[in-house]
């Protein structure tokens, strides 16, 4: 056959809508859309399938947005991880070739003096964060820490690196007096002001976790969502975000595929007429990179917003609502 | 008849060919009396044979080399050359109990890594299942307004503009760090 038979199949689909013919032969299906519902309808056989008899679809389709702030900080390492890395570094001290100063420092320079001064203070250990330990000496076997020794913690590693980073010899190759040594600026704390005050509206809280934007509407807390108005899901999500939380956020919708859905079943009368419309809410995932939500003048009646982690959301959201959206949330 | 002539002609050609080749090889053998070499690349052939070891020309050349000016990297190279061949440290030796402790640490680490990997696997399959279920529900949804069943699903599956240079904003390529920035979050960002 030279020509494709797709057209004839399409025409057949339009003309024949009798339930005796199997749906695969009768209709053109995109992505096997009709299969599940039509088979269900033919099994019950009480009411004709809703799509074919043009009864109104008993669901409102809503598009929502789960706006997330990705973690800003790396995760806190488990104490076992710290201890293991420290152990491996000391084993490495036993196994490496000796550090040759003349390769890295020119003789009689300020850098060389600075380095030798620091190494002397460390008791001759080249590594900065391993305490006094010589991998090549006769005491090399003594490479284990005692129980409760804090030397392997992140804090002590940071302190030893900071101590090493401060310049001890001036550019004129003169040793700086200990009271004149300018300490290196400490990096900012991982626990922010917003964490200490538990300010759930700030975005710099819980910086090693993902935060989710929830808003307080007429039906309690939830993600911003609205009924679709002849638009696609991602367009609807974009509109909801701009209308509800303002445009002053640098955001990115990760894809067009919904990541979660919440279904509210319709209330049907005895003869099948719809008494109360159901709701199908599909959530698109978004990421925020800068800015802050602003609910001023939003048309949905949202009164408050929060940036919450997964555990806090579990307490805040209704249980069935949380069950719908919890799968899209990362562990961290 | 024709076939027989063709066959004989072919044979004669063959014999001619073989005669030609044999003469050619004979000629080359006679013209190059040097013994066969392992490598016949042009650079190798261009190389001269070493002079007989009787003359005093070779030590002279060496002395000339020694008097050549030192390169700017001479001292660096000397330091590297002196230290390049430092003896390798001995392998780790551990007593029995120490080795048992080492083994225990190793096993504990393997177990720890295993649990981490399993947690990551579980998280990913959970997120994928969430997306899958949402898409399945979307596929069975009669679209907004007069749109048919599965319309929204088809649009959601489209990949137009998802990939490419404009696909992911550059601000999203921010690494996670050990400590936050001085201003951890820009709350005042305006479009």
ipTM for the whole complex: 0.79
Contact predicate A309/A198, CB 8 Å: no
Half-sphere exposure in the Cβ direction for A262 (13 Å, CA)? 24
Question: A319 pLDDT exceeds 50?
Answer: yes
State how far residue B69 is from chain A, nearest Cα, in angstroms. Answer: 22
Contact predicate A267/A60, CB 8 Å: no
By C-alpha distance, the chain A residue nearest B153 is A257
| Cβ contact, residue pair B156, A250, below 8 Å | no
What's the pTM?
Answer: 0.74
Residue A42 CB neighbour total at 10 angstroms: 14
Q: B98 — contact with chain A (CB < 8 Å)?
A: yes
| Cβ contact, residue pair A204, B98, below 8 Å | no
Per-residue pLDDT tens for A229-281?
Answer: 999 999 999 999 999 999 999 999 999 999 999 999 999 988 888 899 999 99
Q: How far apart, in whole angstroms, are the C-alpha atoms of residue B147 and residue A51?
A: 11
Q: How far apart, in whole angstroms, are the C-alpha atoms of residue A181 and residue A160?
A: 15
Q: Which of B180, B181, B183 to mutate to test the interface with A (most CBs of A within 10 A)?
A: B180
Domains and CATH numbers, chain A: 8-44 (no CATH), 59-72+192-328 (3.90.79.10), 79-180 (no CATH)
Pick the closest to residue A307 from A238, A204, A220 (CA basis): A204
| Cβ contact, residue pair B112, A230, below 8 Å | no
Per-residue pLDDT tens for B54-113?
Answer: 544 445 555 556 667 888 888 888 888 888 887 888 889 999 999 999 999 999 999 999
Q: How far apart, in whole angstroms, are the C-alpha atoms of residue B12 and residue A220?
A: 103
pLDDT confidence band for B177 (50 / 70 / 90)? very high
**pLDDT of res. B28:** 43
| Cβ contact, residue pair B178, A258, below 8 Å | no
Contact predicate B112/A81, CB 8 Å: yes
By C-alpha distance, the chain B residue nearest A60 is B144
Q: B113 — contact with chain A (CB < 8 Å)?
A: no
Q: How far apart, in whole angstroms, are the C-alpha atoms of residue A42 and residue A268?
A: 19
Pick the closest to residue A89 from A126, A57, A49, A115 (CA basis): A126
Query: Using the 8-state DSSP alphabet, how is residue B170 labeled?
Result: G
Ordered by start, the domain boundaries in chain B are 96-159
**pLDDT of res. A27:** 46
């Amino acid at each position: 056959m030279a020509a494709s038979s797709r057209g004839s199949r399409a025409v057949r689909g339009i003309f024949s809508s009798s339930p005796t013919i199997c749906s695969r032969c009768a209709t053109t299906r995109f992505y096997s859309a009709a299969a599940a519902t039509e088979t269900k309808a033919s099994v019950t056989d009480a009411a004709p399938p809703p799509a074919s008899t043009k009864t109104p679809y008993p669901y409102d389709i809503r598009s929502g947005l789960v706006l997330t702030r990705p973690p800003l900080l790396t995760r806190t390492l488990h104490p076992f991880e710290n201890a293991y890395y420290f152990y491996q570094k000391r084993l490495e001290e036993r196994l490496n070739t000796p550090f040759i100063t003349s390769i890295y420092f020119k003789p009689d320079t300020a850098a060389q003096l600075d380095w030798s001064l620091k190494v002397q203070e460390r008791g001759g250990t080249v590594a900065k964060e391993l305490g006094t330990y010589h991998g090549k000496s006769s005491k090399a076997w003594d490479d284990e820490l005692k129980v409760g020794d804090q030397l392997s913690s992140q804090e002590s590693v940071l302190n030893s690196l900071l101590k090493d980073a401060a310049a001890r010899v001036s550019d004129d190759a003169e040793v700086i007096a200990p009271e004149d040594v300018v300490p290196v600026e400490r990096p900012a704390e991982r626990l922010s002001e917003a964490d200490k005050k538990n300010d759930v509206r700030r975005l710099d809280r819980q910086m090693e976790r993902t935060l989710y934007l929830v808003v307080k509407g007429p039906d309690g807390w939830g993600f911003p969502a609205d009924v679709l108005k002849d638009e696609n899901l991602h367009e609807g999500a974009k509109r909801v975000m701009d209308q509800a939380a303002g445009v002053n956020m640098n955001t990115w919708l990760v894809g067009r595929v919904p990541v979660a859905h919440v279904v509210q079943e319709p209330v049907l009368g005895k003869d099948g007429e719809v008494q109360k419309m159901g709701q199908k809410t599909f959530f698109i995932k978004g990421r925020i990179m800068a800015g802050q939500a602003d609910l001023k003048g939003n048309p949905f009646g949202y009164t408050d917003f929060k940036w919450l982690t997964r555990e806090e959301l579990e307490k805040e959201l209704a249980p069935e609502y949380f069950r719908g959206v919890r799968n899209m949330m990362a562990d961290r | 008849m024709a076939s027989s002539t063709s066959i004989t002609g072919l044979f004669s050609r063959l014999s001619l060919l073989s005669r030609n080749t044999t003469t050619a090889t004979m000629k080359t053998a006679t013209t190059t009396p040097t013994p066969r070499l392992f490598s016949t690349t042009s650079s190798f052939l261009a190389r001269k044979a070493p002079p007989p070891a009787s003359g005093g020309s070779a030590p002279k050349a060496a002395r000339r080399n020694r008097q050549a000016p030192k390169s700017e990297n001479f001292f660096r190279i000397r330091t590297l050359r002196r230290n390049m061949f430092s003896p390798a440290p001995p392998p780790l030796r551990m007593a029995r109990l120490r080795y048992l402790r080492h083994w225990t640490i190793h096993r504990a680490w393997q177990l720890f890594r295993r649990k981490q990997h399993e947690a990551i696997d579980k998280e990913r399959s959970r997120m994928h299942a969430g997306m899958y279920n949402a898409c399945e529900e979307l596929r069975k949804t009669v679209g907004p307004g007069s749109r048919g069943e599965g319309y929204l699903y088809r649009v959601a599956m489209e990949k137009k503009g998802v990939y490419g240079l404009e696909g992911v904003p550059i601000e999203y390529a921010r690494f996670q760090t050990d400590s936050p920035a001085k201003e951890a979050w820009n709350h005042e960002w305006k479009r």
